[in-house]
Amino acid sequence: MRLFGNRVITWRIEGCFALVLSAFGVCTPLTFDTTADTPRRFGLTKGDEFRLCATKVFGKPVLAGVDTVVSCPESKENLLKELEAKDVAVLQTDEWIYLYPSSYARMAAHPRPFPSGVWSWKELKISTRVETIADKSTSARLNEIEINQYGKQIRLQTRSAPVVTPLVAGPDHVTAEIAYVIALARHRLGPSLPEAIVALAGGNLSKRLIYGEIHDGLLQIRWESPVLRGGGTKLEYVDVNADGVEEIIVKSTTGSRPISTEISIFDKDGNELTRDADRPTCEDDSTCPLGGEIVELVDGENGTKNISIPENSEFGLEGSEYGLKQGKYVLLRAFPAPIPVPPGVRFNEDGMQLMRAKNYKEAATNFVEAAKLMPSSALFANNAAFAYYKLERYEESVNWCERAIEIDPKRAVAYVNLGDAYVKLNRNAEARRAYTKYLELAPNSKSAPDVKKKLDALPPSP
């Protein structure tokens, strides 16, 4: 039994109705008919249809680590034969039927170490974790009974998201684990709407968004999204179309540098407002998010929200802004991609700021990094030489001056810096040659009188 105050709740169990009465807080497991209240399935593919059929045959939800489509006979025995013919292995657990490449099963029979020190696995484990989504919204909390109940119902009544079969074992060198996480939030999208359960279900990099409404204590799953790609997935609730009902905002991250934020927006009926059929990158089985290094919701017309993606000068990424037209986000304007700033220039600019702050050590580090990134720049090499001179590391200053002169023999200022470093090292003859060369290259420069004074002040060469 499940405890719900003094209410009497009915659940459909294996084709019949059973009463669930509250009594002393004692609870027994609930089972669900996976065909009851079929949710609307967005992004349904042939592979999904096969796995839904296989779920009926096996009597358990099918989780797939391989994209397989075979005929779906009515008997379990014949289905296993079909899968074997396609070189697909089947792992049966208490909660799942897991399909994965038979090559992994053959590898498991003879586990071996890899050069990195990890081992191929011998045993494969699938764990299901149901948890709540931590957010800062006004979402009501779920109790433990509700978490278990709704998590189980979602596992049994919705399509699973694809998972990746691990190649290597965990720390014990024996077992590899696939964690399937169902994260739940209770939220009301509008004052006149019922309380709802919003869930993300899947592995680290592939999930589905699931939406269901609570009526008389019963969860009725309304829809499930196509596959959401990426990690670090977060939920927000914002009324983007100014109709008094919040939409569900899903943000995830992809890539390394620059890290891209992707945004998908769904209304209460499961329509993906950010899906643009004209974009060639949209695939039927996945969401079609908008993305950039920074993605922001900004004020649009008539109380709606636009999606703003600022340009990125470092990586030459163009910016754009999208607004709602007939219920879909469309491109309103694009900002030309700025000319990318070469990484070496950024380090050099930082070094100049550090020089003005008299932080010569950090400045030298930045100039050296700039010179490494752009080895053809005499400017960066000369700046490194001057920073080392200020640090009284004169040998290193000489080395960087010589590198600058090697890159650009007519860079006059490098000869001044070289002469100054030679003076500090008491290498007067070499200092004389350096100053003389500067005056040959820039006899009319503003610095020429000072360089002549330095030259005249040198003791006679031995």
Q: What is the pLDDT of residues 226-251, one digit of tens each?
A: 999 888 889 999 999 999 999 999 99
Residue intervals of the chain classified under CATH 1.25.40.10 are 343-457
Q: How confident is the model at residue 7 (pLDDT cuts 50, 70, 90)?
A: very low
To the nearest whole number, what is the mean pLDDT of the chain? Answer: 84
d(C-alpha 102, C-alpha 108), whole Å: 10
On the question of a cis peptide bond just before residue 258, with omega within 30 degrees of 0, the verdict is yes
pTM tops 0.75 = no
Other CB atoms within 10 A of residue 99 CB: 22
204-208, 243-247, 358-362, range with the lowest pLDDT = 204-208
Residue 33 has pLDDT above 50, yes or no: no
CATH 3.30.565.10 for domain 343-457, yes or no, is: no
How many angstroms separate the Cα of 396 from the Cα of each of 363, 386, 434? 14, 10, 16
Say if CB 132 and CB 184 are below 8 A apart: yes
Q: How confident is the model at residue 19 (pLDDT cuts 50, 70, 90)?
A: very low
Quote the pLDDT of residue 317.
Answer: 56
Quote the pLDDT of residue 141.
Answer: 82
Closest CA to 83 of 95, 74, 71: 71
Quote the pLDDT of residue 34.
Answer: 42
Mind listing the pLDDT tens digit for each residue in 170-200? Answer: 888 888 899 999 999 999 999 999 999 999 9
Residue 314 has pLDDT above 90, yes or no: no
Mind listing the pLDDT tens digit for each residue in 380-415? Answer: 999 999 999 999 999 999 999 999 999 999 999 999
Q: How confident is the model at residue 35 (pLDDT cuts 50, 70, 90)?
A: very low
Quote the pLDDT of residue 277.
Answer: 52
Quote the pLDDT of residue 69.
Answer: 77
**Paired sense of beta strands 175-187 and 290-292, if any:** unpaired
Quote the pLDDT of residue 305.
Answer: 96
How large is the average pLDDT for residues 60-89? 89
How large is the average pLDDT for residues 68-72? 81
Residue 115 has pLDDT above 70, yes or no: no
d(C-alpha 37, C-alpha 73), whole Å: 24
Quote the pLDDT of residue 148.
Answer: 93
